[in-house]
A and B are shown apart, each in its own frame.
Chain A
Amino acid sequence: MTRIDRRGFLTAGAASGLAASGLLPAWARSQSVIAPQSGLSGTEFDLTIGRSPVRIDGRPGRAITINGTIPAPLLRWREGDDITLRVTNTLDADTSIHWHGILIPFHMDGVPGVSFPGIRPGETFTYRFPVRQAGTYWYHSHSGLQEQLGHYGPIVIDPAGSDPVAYDREYVIVLSDWTFMDPHRLFDELKKSADSLNYQKRTFADFLADVREEGLGDAIAQRDMWARMRMMRTDISDVTGATYTYLINGHGPQDNWTALFSRGERVRLRIINASAMSLLNFRIPGLAMTVVQADGLNVQPVETDEFQMGVAETYDVIVEPTEDRAYAIVAEAIDRSGMGVATLAPRLGMRAEAPPLRERPLLTMTDMGMGGHAGHDSAMAAGAGMAMDHGSNGNHAAMEHDGPALGTMNHDSMDHGAMVGGGAAMVEHNHPQWPGVANVAMAPISRLDEPGIGLEDVPHRTLSYSQLRSLDPNPDSRAPGREIELHLTSNMERYMWSFDGVRFSEVVEPIVFRQDERLRLTMVNDTMMPHPIHLHGMFFDVVNHEGDHLPRKHTIIVKPGERLSVDITANEVGDWAFHCHLLYHMHAGMMQVVSVRADAESHLNAHAHSGHHAHMTGRD
């Protein structure tokens, strides 16, 4: 039932319109770095990691590549095969490859310091493992900040049996964010001035516009709370289009990567967000997309027009273009500061017109963790006036106001779990309250039925996690035996990111799972940013309904102010990295290790009912 058009693969990388600046088509100009979609297949693979010159939209840069290309070669595996991958490091620093979303023995997972020591310069490391699944995945460096420089590539695993998804032609679409800056310098700038890369802040002119629209009182009231809390409503992405060029299959918007279709074909797009820091809104204006797979696993088909992709998420969609015209493939940054653009066309040489960037979204009170109470921002600020200010007085979550909705809240004597005005439960925050935690979500809510920041009011269909249903029944439908609550925490002003207030550099013991237990991980996002959270080695069963068709994901966005639960079957013994997949958040400490142990009983007793067991030392 599946017919893969190999010709489609071969022409894909080569297909391109005339580049804006050069005489040659982009593929020819930059053929040394553009991977053809034929990729590498079989059971034996040789991969060489090194430095290569690249041209992005005509501008030269230096990348870290695998076999000389950005993205790295498509690896095509078959479910049931035993595969061998020999990875040679020609860099002058250690490197690694992590197989993202792949079920694998932990010591082949490729995380230096967790699953293996890393690959030294000049060394060849051999990965060997059986392929136990099918679908769209990817691979990337887990060493330092190498991922930012091009060290990522797609994996497609063909199923051992028949594919429930029928299609005539397929393309892998690797989305990424490219910078000509040294990523260490970029991180350094974020540490020293966390908002310096944002050129979409609210200005005095925005204030005047608000005054005209809302009146002076409301405009001031609305700003009052955000300014008092030292929060910015435009603080959506740490690194923006001012720094990044958004790539599709290694091509900048000028380079115009092109995929071909014949009218009436079912075209399968395997979309991977391989960005370092960018959540992206994916759409093809004029074409409906049917989502058939999420994070490599099949889902019941759902038709949509746009979806938000967290870093490291993948979606497979089917499109059926019928018109004889070029369609724009658009991956717009969540803060609308830039976009990746490619073309889906019936013939070579066509170029789709990119839609204009839409207006940048603003954070709301819900993003601040005020949950269902929030209502309208201006009303909140003027009326109830809740604020969680950890600043000057050092008092944990001091409620500075006697808002009518909330009365007086004294955290010292606050009854955790008490009900507040609107009816949502107050949340327990028993992680350390210290300079690393600038705010807490007072009333986090489920946001699974929301499409994500900025997509609430677009004039077409959007996808939310609540729409996803696994195609297959879940392999483990046991009720969870216990729940771990984990808070995503930050101090954005100091660019500190952590789980439960503890940066990875301070962690003294991992989160322990008992072998084969079924447990619930509930994450509460105390920060004002969405975090794509990734657990290595095991899937999250996203608790989005009652039933046994929970969508299973390796990476899930936890929205600001959200409380979200996933169930996990801890059937993969070993140590696994667990982190925010925003590269610089991980690098700032938003990471932990999950240790699945056969002998975990004694540990569990010590930490029953809590993910808040990491000790604080307060060192730098």
Chain B
Amino acid sequence: MARLITSAALALALSAPAFAQEGQWSAADEYYDTVEMDEARRQLQHEGGGTRHLFLQADRLEYQSNDGAPLLVWDAQGWYGGDLNRIWVKTEGEHSLAEDSIEGFEVEALYSRAITPYFDLQAGLRQDFDPDFETTYAVVGLQGLAPYWFEVDGAVYLSDLGDLTAGFEAEYELLLTQRLVLQPRAELSFSAQDVPELGLGAGLSSAEAGARLRYEIDRQFAPYIGVSWQEKFGKTVDFAQLEGEDTHSVSFVLGVRLWY
């Protein structure tokens, strides 16, 4: 089912525009070859708003001190498409430097459609590549720019085992100078039920908040430093303690933000 949705979305997003011919302008066809004019008209109209673009961004590519168990963390995303219909790919993950192993790694592939000037409705699949437990989710989310310039991204996830979870992120950019930017950021994770396999308790399962201070050497290249605070809540804490995992950490972070 999810695959069907995805391929239909791809077809919709990537289908070439077709122009209705009735009522089209064609006065020049009296002087020039109609086939050549048709091609020129198609080209001109395509250029006038129909161009597609590729966006790639590593919002966070960073080292986290994580109370002595340092991590490399990435949070990257990208899209391809036009103004309204896009294919998004998002990935987040962390690599433990102490154990030299990937701790968690997820990828989302979404079809995205603008539903308001500032917000996109997104749907697709998420795959988690946990070392012990791989999970596939169907995803529906909303991403965009909220009033007061908050960049927000929220989604609900339904796993292949029927578990329902949700995540919400918000970021803000405070310009200290034209190039020095303070970016506060918060992320909340929720679960509709206990999922012992994933160590999730029902309700608010975890939160992460941080602030990153970056310097935009170029708009597309900005190293940063910051702090990140992570906390688990409710029954998620119990699961974590059973596994001998931390339930709380404060990290110094050092990273770089990139986009193309």
Contacts and interface: CB of A to CB of B under 8 A. Distances in A.
Nearest to A603: B23
Contacts of A394: 115-116
Contact of A510 (B19, B25, B144): B25
Given A117-B39, A192-B55, A229-B147, A505 B116 contact: no
The contact size tier of chain B is 35 or more
Contacts of A53: none
B145 A493 contact: yes
Contacts of B15: 619
B178 A203 contact: yes
A361 interface: no
Interface in A186-241: 187-189, 191-193, 196-197, 199-205, 227-230
Contacts of A116: 28, 31-32, 37, 40
Interface of A is mostly: loop
B43 A112 contact: yes
Given A394-B116, A620-B82, A117 B32 contact: yes
A203 B175 contact: yes
Contacts of A204: 174-176
B133 interface: no
Nearest to A587: B47
B28 A107 contact: yes
A230 B43 CA distance: 33
A268 to B, nearest CB: 37
A618 B40 CA distance: 22
Contact of A112 (B40, B50, B85, B115): B40
Interface in A565-592: 573-575, 586-589, 591
Interface string A476-504: 00000000000000010111111000011
Contacts of B50: 503, 505, 589, 620
A83 interface: no
A393 B47 CA distance: 31
A111 B47 CA distance: 13
Nearest to A391: B118
Interface in B125-145: 144-145
B43 to A, nearest CB: 6
Contact of B176 (A113, A197, A203): A203
A117 B36 contact: yes
A305 interface: no
B19 A435 contact: no
B101 interface: no
B17 A619 contact: yes
B149 A230 contact: yes
Nearest to A596: B27
Contacts of A390: 116-117
Contacts of B115: 394, 435
Contacts of B31: 107, 116
A603 B83 CA distance: 31
A491 B144 CA distance: 13
A386 interface: no
Contacts of A58: none
> Most chain-B Cβ atoms within 10 A of its Cβ — which of A114, A498, A586?
A114
Contacts of B146: 391-392
B84 A620 contact: yes
B100 interface: no
Contact of A106 (B19, B27, B83): B27
Contact of A505 (B17, B22, B33, B219): B17
Interface residues of A, number: 70
Nearest to B19: A508
Contact of B33 (A117, A228, A494, A593): A117
Contacts of B51: 187, 191, 587
A79 interface: no
Given A114-B28, A114-B44, A391-B116, A228 B147 contact: yes
B49 A496 contact: yes
B229 interface: no
B117 A493 contact: yes
A117 B26 CA distance: 11
Nearest to A594: B25
B118 A575 contact: no
A217 B33 CA distance: 66
B41 A205 contact: no
Contact of A620 (B13, B32, B44, B119): B13
Interface string A100-129: 000000110001111111100000000000
A345 to B, nearest CB: 36
Contacts of A199: 178-179
B81 to A, nearest CB: 6
Given A203-B175, A508-B24, A436 B83 contact: yes
B48 A589 contact: yes
A208 to B, nearest CB: 11
A144 B47 contact: yes
A200 B85 CA distance: 31
A438 B83 CA distance: 13
A149 interface: no
Contact of A202 (B82, B85, B175): B175
Given A118-B40, A509-B23, A574-B27, A587 B177 contact: no
Nearest to B56: A192
Contacts of B176: 203-205
Contacts of A507: 45, 48
Contact of A113 (B17, B30, B37, B55): B37
Contacts of B219: 189, 193, 196-197
Contacts of B32: 107, 116-117
Contact of A504 (B24, B33, B45): B45
Given A118-B40, A203-B177, A392 B46 contact: no
B118 A230 contact: yes
A419 to B, nearest CB: 28
B114 interface: yes
> Most chain-A Cβ atoms within 10 A of its Cβ — which of B46, B48, B50, B176?
B48
A389 interface: yes
Contacts of B83: 191, 435-436, 491, 494-496, 503, 620
Contacts of A189: 219
A530 B27 CA distance: 31
Contact of B259 (A112, A193, A203, A588): A193
Given A230-B149, A496-B83, A112 B44 contact: yes
Contacts of A574: 27-28
Nearest to A393: B116
A437 interface: yes
Contacts of A593: 25
Contacts of A393: 116
Contact of B45 (A113, A496, A603): A113
B55 A115 contact: no
A320 interface: no
Nearest to A389: B147
Given A116-B31, A587-B48, A392 B174 contact: no
Interface in B202-222: 219
Given A391-B118, A620-B17, 8 more contacts: A106-B27, A116-B37, A200-B178, A435-B83, A498-B49, A504-B45, A509-B22, A620-B81
25 contacts: A113-B41, A113-B44, A117-B36, A117-B37, A117-B40, A191-B53, A201-B178, A203-B175, A203-B177, A203-B178, A229-B147, A230-B147, A390-B117, A435-B117, A493-B145, A494-B117, A503-B49, A589-B48, A593-B25, A595-B27, A618-B84, A619-B15, A619-B17, A620-B50, A620-B82
